[in-house]
Amino acid sequence: GQCVAVCPTGALTEIDETTKVIRRLADSSKTVVVQIAPAVRAALGEEFGYEPGTLVTGKIVAALRRLGFSYIFDTDFAADLTIMEEGMELLGRIKGHLAGDKSVRLPILTSCCPAWVNFFETYYPDMLDVPSTARSPQQMFGAIAKTYFADKIGVEREDMVVVSVMPCLAKKYECQRKEFSTNGNPDVDFSISTRELAHLIKEANINFGELDDEEFDNPLGYSTGAGVIFGTTGGVIEAASRTAYELYTGKELVDVNFMELRGFGGIRTATVDFDGLKLNIGIASGLGNARLLLDKVRSGELELHAIEIMACPNGCVGGGGQPLHHGKEETIRRRAEALYRADAEKPLRKSHLNPYIIELYKEFLGAPLSHKAHQLLHTHYYKKEQNSGH
Ligand code: SF4
């Protein structure tokens, strides 16, 4: 992911994608839907003179409406969906393991960072059954938008364009993976970065600072606090723990803050207690740290149940598509704090309580890990040759 930030072909892709988005917005035969990733709301303001860590969510929604998007949705919704699928997968593997099933592979590894996925497909081909098969929130969003939501509003798949705003440059390549297309039509058509969105807003002469806050559209715009913290290191595994705890123990989790999973060390380990069941969790951010952690798992030196890995140091808040932070860790830290604040302010903070997620399963998917959920929300990994590029 990060190599892309300094790679000239990456820059060309950026220009290209923004132009294509502008063209689709001008085409009245297209319904253009946009999703924004969690880390974007904690950083975009910096491009307009706000202090790092200022949440500008409502202004982003307002700006996207002025730019002409038909529906403004939230990747956080899809993050809640990711937790449903990944959380059930985690529980399934743990129960299998406890029952002595030798075919069950632990630890389970999070799979929402495409730069990391690319990395383990290249360097850990012997461990391709370790990652969760759950697609990233970006891709889950696209798959649901172009089926469930397109059906709801009576739009054909070919007439819907899905754009994502991501803190990330690797997300552009993720959209191009053939697993995420149906008959050559990608689930997510274009991914633009936080910086590119800032550029679009400036080009359109929108006075960002003067915009009044607006709300996301529904049903794909509603999320719990668990979906928001996906944007920082440790957030995915904390979100998963909130849901997995309740589903495993059948008890209410009163304090949802897993403080032991938060922090900024490049490699961390912690134990969470599921009512007597102790789960060992590993967290790494930055590819060098990820490699160190995974090598210890491969050699058997570390025994973990679940691992979260993000390619960018400190997770997506520090992503290669974010406003430049010039190596200032304080900037990244403040963005992460903003996401924990947004989480704390949400009325619901556990993914499985999201009423629109519940509705989606009831009306369309059936249950987590159902046949339909597997088709739309899960993926496969492939052994990649070293130096094969993207
Ligand atoms: Fe993209 Fe986030 Fe992975 Fe960085 S950590 S490459 S921003 S998904």
Does residue 14 have an active-site annotation? no
Residue 17, pLDDT score: 87
The protein residue with its alpha carbon nearest to ligand 1, atom 1, reads 168
Q: Looking at this predicted complex, what is its ipTM?
A: 0.99
Residue 113, pLDDT score: 96
Residues 60 and 75: beta-carbon distance below 8 Å: no
Does residue 95 have an active-site annotation? no
CA–CA dist 317, 168 (Å, integer): 9
CA–CA dist 123, 105 (Å, integer): 18
- Residue 387 Cα distances to 105, 122, 131, angstroms: 28, 8, 22
Mutation to probe ligand 1, out of 3, 111, 168, 193 (largest number of atoms < 8 A from CB): 168
In the set 59, 85, 111, 112, the catalytic residue is 112
pLDDT in tens, 147-199: 999 999 999 999 999 999 999 999 999 999 999 999 999 999 999 999 999 99
Ligand 1 centre to CA of 368 (Å) is 25
Residue 14, pLDDT score: 55
Does residue 246 have an active-site annotation? no
Q: Identify the structural domains of the chain with CATH numbers, from first to last.
A: 2-377 (3.40.50.1780)
Question: 110-148 burial, b for 16+ CB within 10 Å, e for fewer?
Answer: bbbbbbbbbbbbebbeebeebbbbbbbbbbbbbbbbbbb
pTM value is 0.94
Tokens of 376: 């739309």
Residue 99, pLDDT score: 93
Is pLDDT above 80 for 7? no
Tokens of 304: 């973990």
Rounded to the nearest 10 degrees, the angle between the axes of helix 287-299 and helix 114-123 is: 50
How many CB atoms are closer than 10 A to CB 176? 13
Q: Looking at residues 203-231, what average pLDDT do you find?
A: 97
Nearest one of 132, 130, 150 to 142, comparing CA atoms: 150
Dihedral through CA 113, CA 114, CA 120, CA 122, nearest 10? -160
Ligand 1 centre to CA of 327 (Å) is 16
Q: Tell me which residues have their CB closer than 6 angstroms to ligand 1.
A: 1, 113, 115-116, 167-168, 170-171, 310-312, 315-316, 319
- pLDDT class for 385, splitting at 50, 70, 90? confident
In the set 17, 89, 196, 308, the catalytic residue is 89
CA–CA dist 240, 367 (Å, integer): 17
Ligand 1 centre to CA of 362 (Å) is 31
